[in-house]
Chains A and B, each alone.
Chain A
Amino acid sequence: MTLSSHFAILVVVVPLVMAPLVAVLPSRSGTPWLVATLTAFVSFLLAIGVTQQVMAQGVLLYELGNWPVPFGIGLVIGPFAALLLLVITGASLGALLWGRASMNQEVGEEHQSLLYACWLLATAGLVGITITGDAFNVFVFMEISALASYVLVSAGPSRQALTATFKYLVTGTIGATFYLIGVGYLYMMTGTLNMADMADRLSQVSDTAPVLMASGFIVLGLALKAALFPMHAWMPNAYRYAPTIVTVFLAACSTKVALFVLIRFDFLILQPNLGDHALLFTTILMPLCIVAFLVGSTVAVFERDLKRMLAYSSVAQIGYILLGASLVSSAGTTAAILHMFNHAIIKAALFMAVGAMVLRYGSSRISDIAGAGKSMPWTMAAFCVAGLSLIGVPLTAGFMSKWFLIQAMLEIEGIGYLVVFLILVSSLLAVVYIWKVIEVAYFQEPASMPQGEPPRLISEAPMPMLLMIWLLAIANIWFGIDPSLPLGLAGMEVQQLLGASR
């Protein structure tokens, strides 16, 4: 048995094993960052390896301990999971490469070994959720990533980080526990925890009340974790007060994993077995998603803080993703998967650019970054590119997502046209809040200093940061022109999902 046959498990084991080692490294030497980044790099390579294997074989299966599923735990990696693995490990690596200076400034050098250990644990947790085929295992890894995220967020420089983390902790635990309750009822009615097995056995007890209620609990719990409106209240403050490097990472992938589990549960287990369920899913979720992207974009317009503005923008984007999934059509699901990938690179780029400005200006209020167009031209240019992608201008990744989403909506007569109109409204709102930042950065003079003080010298972002920001900005354009990677994987996944449920 060669090593490559174990890639599936290694992609979670590598960060999991390295985390305790990072925790005991001395903080002041800078080695924690180095070791963590190397580990993230290895994980990213493994994710690429896994993706290649999935593209060749269609789905990867792996039995832990060589125990047959469903008596042991099995890993199941399909195309969607592979894409998400790339996003998670890529975001982890990217944020680390970007954020060393930011971490040193916001958090200081003490206790960094513990934080970087938590970073690896969060990565391992998110990866673990994505690759597993066992419903309870999802819960365990969900808690690993959640706990690690709470620690990371709490390290923010201001005291509001503490209250934000507390709210995040309480909401996240309620969400995870709701998920656990749902799994408990499903287990009660099927006698198994393996997701594929559950799908099989559910057909015998479908449409009984406990099963319907279980679905409700699971969807509710995962929606809480995914920050779907109206359960998004924990997110803006958590993203605002966390260290910026943490926000880059979490914004790119943490809510998406919850959405992934939700979509997977829905298609694999609930869809085929609950007769009129498809209708329920759409009628309940679709309005919520529409409200999500309208409210998210609107609040973002009025926000005066850059990080919180982008957080509300994320609330809107999550609405788009789930909107595609709620249609339960191949076009809709393709759009959802595509946008999960695209949003990650859009938001990562935006937060990285904003983070560079926070580093130099020492503040994340929009009014404080006046004149950034002149002092930090490259950073602002990247922000513009990513901003255009967020709005959905042609030739950008964001445009691709919106295109597919609109096409999926147009398949539905009547309501579809209304929703398309609303999507366009929301995109216009995105123009407004992106323009707000651009206007302040390019067309306003830097804040004047009190009498007698020399003007503040703001230099461009440090080179490592700048390189990462531009890498992602270019990625936005690349995937806007050639979306074959995410699109191909999405197509494969849709075939499997919708083929399996018929």
Chain B
Amino acid sequence: MTPTSNLVVTALGLLNYWVYIFLLCVGLYAVLVKGNYVKRMIGLGIFQSAVFLLYISMDKVDGGTGPIFQGEPVAGQIFSNPLPQVLILTAIVVGIAVTALGLALAIRIKEEYGSIEEADTQRMDREA
């Protein structure tokens, strides 16, 4: 295999992971930098979803199908890995739980402080 086609194969094989890395950085950046509480929740959601992509990318097997038996098990049939899927089902639910709680907090913060920008709340706390 020529070096270029080798590189292309590697790139295609790793593209999922590179996208996950990109999403991780985008999400984490939003959480750290943005001052708006709701924006930070959005960033957190993207950050968590990136991890889902990492796990699910692991489960694919070339030529496989979803791990569900259609009719009788056929010898030699290739299935993709079921375990990461189970883990991510749990992680998705955990993600929405955190999101819901975070949004509820943001709503209350808006009511108590009048703003959902961190700069405003910090200023008001300092003046207290």
Task: Note whether A and B contact each other (Cβ less than 8 A).
Answer: yes
Out of B37, B47, B58, which one reaches A184, CB within 8 Å? B58
> Do residues A174 and B31 form an inter-chain contact, with CB atoms below 8 A?
yes
> Do residues B109 and A162 form an inter-chain contact, with CB atoms below 8 A?
yes
> Do residues B112 and A169 form an inter-chain contact, with CB atoms below 8 A?
no
Q: Does A177 contact B (CB under 8 A)?
A: yes
Q: How far is the CA of A162 from the CA of B44 in the complex (A)?
A: 18
Q: Does A173 contact B (CB under 8 A)?
A: yes
Q: Does A180 contact B (CB under 8 A)?
A: yes
Q: How far is the CA of A173 from the CA of B95 in the complex (A)?
A: 9
Interface positions of A from 130 to 160, Cβ below 8 Å from B = 136, 139-140, 143, 147, 150-151, 154, 159-160
Out of B84, B87, B125, which one reaches A163, CB within 8 Å? B125
When C-beta atoms are compared, the residue in chain A nearest to B86 turns out to be A136
> Do residues A173 and B48 form an inter-chain contact, with CB atoms below 8 A?
yes
Interface positions of B from 32 to 69, Cβ below 8 Å from A = 37, 40, 44, 47-48, 51, 54-55, 58
Q: Does A181 contact B (CB under 8 A)?
A: yes
> Do residues A166 and B51 form an inter-chain contact, with CB atoms below 8 A?
no
Q: How far is the CA of A136 from the CA of B89 in the complex (A)?
A: 12
| Residues on B with beta carbons closer than 8 Å to the beta carbon of A159 | 109, 112-113
Q: Does A265 contact B (CB under 8 A)?
A: no
Q: Does B91 contact A (CB under 8 A)?
A: yes
- Size of the A side of the interface (Cβ < 8 Å), in residues, is 25
Q: Does B90 contact A (CB under 8 A)?
A: yes
Interface positions of B from 94 to 108, Cβ below 8 Å from A = 94, 97-98, 101-102, 105-106, 108
Q: Does A188 contact B (CB under 8 A)?
A: yes
> Do residues B47 and A174 form an inter-chain contact, with CB atoms below 8 A?
yes
Measured CB to CB, the closest approach of chain A to B84, in angstroms, equals 8
Q: How far is the CA of A173 from the CA of B109 in the complex (A)?
A: 19
Q: How far is the CA of A180 from the CA of B37 in the complex (A)?
A: 24
Interface positions of A from 158 to 208, Cβ below 8 Å from B = 159-160, 162-163, 165-166, 169-170, 173-174, 177, 180-181, 184, 187-188, 193
Q: How far is the CA of A154 from the CA of B40 in the complex (A)?
A: 18
17 more CB-based (< 8 A) A-B contacts, given A147-B98, A174-B28: A136-B87, A140-B94, A147-B97, A150-B101, A162-B108, A166-B102, A169-B98, A173-B44, A174-B31, A174-B47, A177-B47, A180-B51, A180-B91, A184-B51, A184-B54, A187-B84, A188-B58
Query: What would be 6 A-B contacts, judged by CB atoms less than 8 Å apart?
Result: A136-B87, A147-B97, A162-B105, A170-B102, A173-B44, A181-B24
